[in-house]
Amino acid sequence: MPVSGATVRPPRRTGRTVALIAVAAVLGIVGGTAVGYGVQAQREPTALPALNQPDLVYPAKPLPKGQEPEPLSAARDQGLRTEGDLRKLLLASPAGAKRTEWTPADGWLSVMAYAEDFEQPSDAFEYLVRNEVRRIASTSWRTGRYKTTQINLVQFRDDSGLSAAEHADGQRRFRTEDSGYGQPIKGSAEGRTYLLPVDRKAGYLDFYEARAVFHRGDVMVEIFVSDTKKISQKEITSLAERQLERL
């Protein structure tokens, strides 16, 4: 019996949604800045207060060799963890799982290949490049006959994390259109998991999907699970929380 979408990569119809959100944000910033300059131009100049820094917290000259403070550990400096091989932060596939045919051989997904999964690939590619996407680590596996899991770590060059947060927010906004507001991910400020409505079609097996979207620092994370049987909330939540811990 044929299976609708169960043996292919889950689609992510999000390119246009993200692009429009990004454009709206930029227009909002530009408009607000213009108004701010106009208001400031009408005001009288204000004298600056005198500088007063009697006790600086850093030494006036470098410390002697051997007395420098130790560098922060990965537990205290989140950047150290994601500066290394990003692929090592991906969850490992469970015992007995098999690689899917779309799993990148070297664990790296090109920006072009990533954008092709969006409804508007050219818009998605332009958005990612404009926001200085740095690299994408990806893994996927199959357990059983039809069940597949895919995890993408999308890292941006923006150290502030704003680009990763914006990309995650765009995916969450799109998900609310067909699966509500989802369930929060413990330990993540805005992360959500989603159980999508079952896709039923005459002559095909039922098709279920669950997804998770969140970000940590400059890395945006998305997890996709698909099967011909119902996927539990516990399963997608566990995947999301374990992947979050690795970041």
Using only C-alpha atoms, what is the Rg of the chain?
A: 23
In DSSP terms, 205 is beta-bridged to 3
Residue 79 has what pLDDT?
A: 54
C-alpha to C-alpha distance for 114 and 133, rounded to whole angstroms: 11
- Of 162, 151, 167, the closest CA to residue 222 belongs to 151
Q: How far is 137 from 139, CA to CA, in rounded Å?
A: 7
pLDDT, tens digit, 9 for 90 and up, residues 196-231? 999 999 999 999 999 999 999 999 999 999 999 999
34 in a domain, yes or no?
Answer: no
Segment 230-243 shows an average pLDDT of 98
Query: Would the pLDDT of 81 be above 70?
Result: no
Tell me the two tokens of residue 146.
């039809």
Residue 102 CA to its chain's centroid (Å): 20
Residue 98 lies in a domain: yes
- Segments forming the whole domain that contains residue 238: 15-28+77-246
Q: What percent of the chain has pLDDT over 90?
A: 59
Per-residue pLDDT, 3: 46
What are 156-201's pLDDT values in tens digits? 999 899 999 999 999 998 776 667 789 999 999 899 999 999 999 9
Give the rounded percent of residues in the chain with a pLDDT score beyond 70: 66
**Gap between the Cα atoms of 82 and 172, Å rounded:** 23
What pLDDT is attached to residue 174? 78
Contact at 8 Å (CB) between 137 and 86? Answer: yes
Residue 55 lies in a domain: no
Does residue 121 lie within any of the structural domains? yes
Name the more confident of 23 and 70: 70
- What CA–CA distance (Å, rounded) separates 238 from 182? 15
Question: Model confidence at 20, in pLDDT bands (50, 70, 90)?
Answer: very low
What residue has token string 């279920």?
208
* φ/ψ (deg, to 5) at 220: -100, 135
Closest CA to 151 of 84, 91, 219, 86: 91
Whether 50 is in a domain gets the answer: no
* Count of structural domains within the chain: 1
Give the distance between the most distant pair of CA atoms in the chain.
Answer: 80
134 contacts: CB under 8 Å, gap ≥ 6: 155, 156, 157, 218
Domain contains 37? no
Residue 159 in any domain: the answer is: yes
pLDDT at 83: 77
Please give the Cα distance from 239 to 43 (Å, whole number).
55
Residue 154 lies in a domain: yes
To the nearest whole number, what is the mean pLDDT of the chain? 80
Q: Which residues of 178-212 are buried (b: 16+ CB within 10 A; e: fewer)?
A: ebeebbebeebeebbbbbbeeeeeeeebebbbbbb
